[in-house]
Amino acid sequence: MTKALAEQGAHVVMACRSIDRGEDAKREIEAEVPEASLTVHELDLADLDSVAAFAEWFESMYDELHVLCNNAGIMAIPRKETTDGFEYQFGVNHLGHFALTAHLLPLLEQTPGTTRVVTQSSVAHRNSEIDFEDLQGEQSYSAWDAYGQSKLANLLFAYELDRRLRAADASVISVACHPGWAATNLQRRGPEQSGSQLRLWMMKLANAVIAQSAERGAEPMLYAATDPGIEGGEYVGPDGFRNMRGSPEIQESSDRSYDVDTAKRLWEVSEDLTGVSFDLPLVEANWQ
């Protein structure tokens, strides 16, 4: 994703939890794209203070933001908590992005032209629901259920954000996407942290047999972030078998992801948990 944007002349701020790994990636891209304009800065989505500090730094350095890509993800790991006490997958995948978007939305709004927030979901959202009675998995925890819940939360947030932006007649649109199954290090984290060699072997096999490359997996987000025909509230994913691989296209997500009442409730809960709010009008549940 970063490499593709850099090849087209964009300046990309690489927000990374690990500065060392971020700088390594920056050097790799610069070796292939000598003209790349890249900046690495620390951002830990598991720490709301880090999210606020990143946004403050960004606003001190830049007076424009054209695309915000909410792309960080943790998948199917043993239960642990963020710095702020949230279940880690829900905290990083949803709440961290929710807070970051709220902090940077004013800059997106003041940037000339139509700007975008692109939020990465997953096909894992399809069989998931938001468990408001045990949102943090304190009573019962399943690594995959928690992951699916966080990815459904990504879509509920993306669609609700677009509804509120349209109601405010804002120049910002909110778009969602998913990568299908892309062969990355994401699949290794859960098995490694749980110590399951069998799961690790199965993930490696699936990456070799089912997955598309990481580069192809980045195409839906790249499409959502740059295609001039994209409209707010759309969902982009691969067009191949079970949407696991292929070229990006506009798709439909699950019925639950379009539930306006659930989205409104999640929005309110997210504001309460993060202490961050958006200066956007409330949209009535029956407004489309």
- Tokens 């943090």 label which residue? 136
3-class SS of residue 243: helix
3-class SS of residue 129: coil
How many other C-beta atoms can be found within 10 angstroms of the C-beta atom of residue 275? Answer: 11
Q: How is 59-123 classified by DSSP, letter by letter?
A: HHH-S---EEEE-----SPPP-B-TTS-BHHIIIIIIIHHHHHHHHHHHHHHSSS-EEEEEE--G
Catalytic annotation present for 147? yes
Query: Which whole-number Å values give the CA distances from 212 to 121, 150, 190, 244, in the listed order?
Result: 17, 23, 20, 8
The 248-251 sheet, strands edge to edge: 67-70, 115-120, 172-177, 235-238, 248-251
- Closest alpha carbon to 87 in 130, 143, 137, 124: 137
Instruction: Pick the catalytic residue from 88, 141, 147, 258.
Output: 147
Distance, in Å, from the CA atom of 102 to the CA atom of 174, rounded to the nearest integer, reads: 13
How many other C-beta atoms can be found within 10 angstroms of the C-beta atom of residue 185? Answer: 9
Distance, in Å, from the CA atom of 4 to the CA atom of 219, rounded to the nearest integer, reads: 9
**Do 225 and 217 touch, CB atoms closer than 8 A?**
no
- Which residues are catalytically annotated? 147
